[in-house]
Structure 1
Amino acid sequence: MSPESQASEALPSRRRRAPRGGRHRGDESFLLPPGSPTLVLAVPGPARRAGAEPALELARLVEIEHTGQPARVAYLEGDEANLHTVLAGLHHDPDELAAVVVPMSTGPDPAMDAALRHAVAAAPANAVAAEPLGPHPLIAEALHDRLADAGLARADRIRLMTMVTAASGVIIATPGDATAVRQAEVTGVLLASRLAAPVFTASLNDDASVKAAAEQLRAAGATSIALAPHLIGPEPDAARVASAAATVGCPHSAPLGP
Structure 2
Amino acid sequence: MTRFTAQLTTQLDRLGHHGVRRGGRDRAPTLVAVAHGSRDPEALRSVNALLDRVRALRPGLPVRLGHIELNQPLLTDTLAALRGEAVLVPLLLSRGYHVKQDIPDAIAAAPHLTARIAAPLGPDPLLAEALHARLAEAGSRAEAGSPAEAGRRAAAPHRTGGVVLAAAGSRDPDAALDTARTAALLSARLGGAPVLPGYASGSGPTVPEAVRALAALGHDRIAVASYFTAPGRFATQCASVAPGPAAAPLGAHPAVARLVLRRYEQALASAPLSHPAATVGV
Residue 105 of structure 1, aligned match among 77, 92, 95: 92
Deviations 1:144-180 (A, max 9, x none): 1110111179xx9xxxxx9x83211101011122532
- The gaps in structure 1 that reach 5 residues or longer are 1-12, 19-29, 93-97, 157-161
Q: 1:195 aligns with which of 190, 206, 211?
A: 190
SS of the residue corresponding to residue 198 of structure 2 reads strand
Contact preservation (8 Å) 1:135, 1:184 = yes
Question: Which residue number corresponds to residue 146 of structure 1?
Answer: 134
Q: Return the match for 1:205 from 201, 204, 209.
A: 201
Of 52, 65, 71, which aligns to 2:44?
52
How far, CA to CA, are the matches of 1:236 and 1:50 in structure 2?
11
Q: Is the 8 A contact 2:40 2:232 kept in 1?
A: no
Task: Note the alpha carbon deviations across 1:45-84, whole angstroms, 9 max, x for none.
Answer: 2698441123212222222212221111112236842211
Aligned match of 1:186: 181
The change in CA–CA distance for 1:16 and 1:191 in structure 2 (over 3 A counts) is: farther
CA distance in 2 between partners of 1:16 and 1:81 (Å): 36
Correspondence 1:33 to 2:19? yes
Match for residue 214 of structure 1 among 199, 211, 214: 211
Percent of aligned pairs with the same amino acid: 33
2:156 is aligned to 166
TM (norm. structure 1) is 0.73
Residue identity in the other structure for 2:248? A
SS in 2 for 1:146: helix
- Paired with 1:234 and 1:112, the residues of 2 have a C-alpha distance of 20
Say whether residues 1:256 and 2:250 are aligned partners: yes
1:119 aligned to 2:109? no
Equivalent pairs counted in the alignment come to 221
For 2:245, the aligned partner's letter is P
Secondary structure of the structure 1 residue equivalent to 2:33: strand
Partners of 1:111 and 1:40 in 2: CA distance: 15
1:173/1:229 contact within 8 Å kept: yes
Large movers: runs of 4+ above 6 Å? none
* TM-aligned CA distance change 1:181 to 1:240, over 3 Å: farther
CA displacement, residues 188-238 of structure 1 (integer Å, 9 cap, x when unaligned): 122112222111112122695323322332343322101111111155522
Richer in helix (by share) = 2
Please, which runs of 5 or more residues in structure 2 have no aligned partner?
10-15, 21-26, 142-146, 253-282
**Cα distance, 1:236–1:112 mapped onto 2, change above 3 Å:** farther
The letter of the residue matching 2:51 is A
Q: Which amino acid aligns with 1:209?
A: T
Partner of 1:176: 169
Residue in 2 that maps onto 1:75: 67
What is the match of residue 25 of structure 1?
A: none
CA contact (8 A) 1:152 1:253 kept: no
Q: TM-score, normalised by structure 2?
A: 0.67
- Give a deviation string over 1:101-123, Cα, whole Å, max 9, x none: 11221113424652222111111
Counterpart among 51, 56, 59 of residue 64 in structure 1: 56
Q: CA RMSD in A?
A: 3.4
Q: Distance in 1 between matches of 2:232 and 2:94?
A: 12
Could you say which residue in structure 2 is the equivalent of 1:132?
A: 120
